[in-house]
Structure 1
Amino acid sequence: MKDTKTTELRDKSVPELEALVREEQASLYRARRDLVFRRITDTASLKTRRHNIARIMTLIAEKKRGNA
């Protein structure tokens, strides 16, 4: 997910957001694995991925509560 803005994410449905979470979690897993095997040196990308997951999960919770 390249610099997806929160406003763009708000337009998506809950199933689409859940799919994005799964995709981001898989990406985070791969990045962690690559870090262990020293294939990547950019540790900031792990933090960015975690923040993206949190942002999407927050939007899912808001939509399920009916706030958005």
Structure 2
Amino acid sequence: MKASELRTKDVAALEAEVKSLLKAHFGLRMQKATQQLSNHTALGNTRRDIARVKTILAEKKKEAAK
């Protein structure tokens, strides 16, 4: 997921994206806990994606507040 793709989305779409990424991250954490996770890099990638979306969401909210 690229930041340029995220910047084209509106606030509601970004909030939905964060929610889905958090669900995916939870699922990966549960797979890791039960030792069913085969791709360990997916955990770090989803965590970075969540941070990226939250950063752009905060920028958009700050811009809208001006």
Q: Which moves more between the two structures, 25-34 or 37-46? A: 37-46
In the TM superposition, residue 42 of structure 1 has moved relative to its aligned partner by 1.9
Q: Give the distance between the partners of 1:42 and 1:8, measured in 2 at CA.
A: 25
Structure richer in helix, relative to its length: 2
Q: Give the distance between the partners of 1:59 and 1:12, measured in 2 at CA.
A: 10
Structure 2, gaps ≥5 residues long? none
The root-mean-square deviation of aligned C-alpha atoms, in Å, is 1.2
Q: Give the distance between the partners of 1:35 and 1:56, measured in 2 at CA.
A: 23
Matched, 1:42 2:39: yes
Matched, 1:14 2:11: yes
Alignment coverage as a number of residue pairs: 64
Provide the TM-score with structure 1 as the length reference.
Answer: 0.88
* 4+ runs deviating over 2 angstroms: none
Provide the TM-score with structure 2 as the length reference.
Answer: 0.91
Correspondent of 1:29 among 26, 30, 36: 26
Identity %: 33
Structure with the bigger RCO (C-alpha within 8 Å, sep 6+) is 2
Structure 1, gaps ≥5 residues long? none
In the TM superposition, residue 15 of structure 1 has moved relative to its aligned partner by 0.6
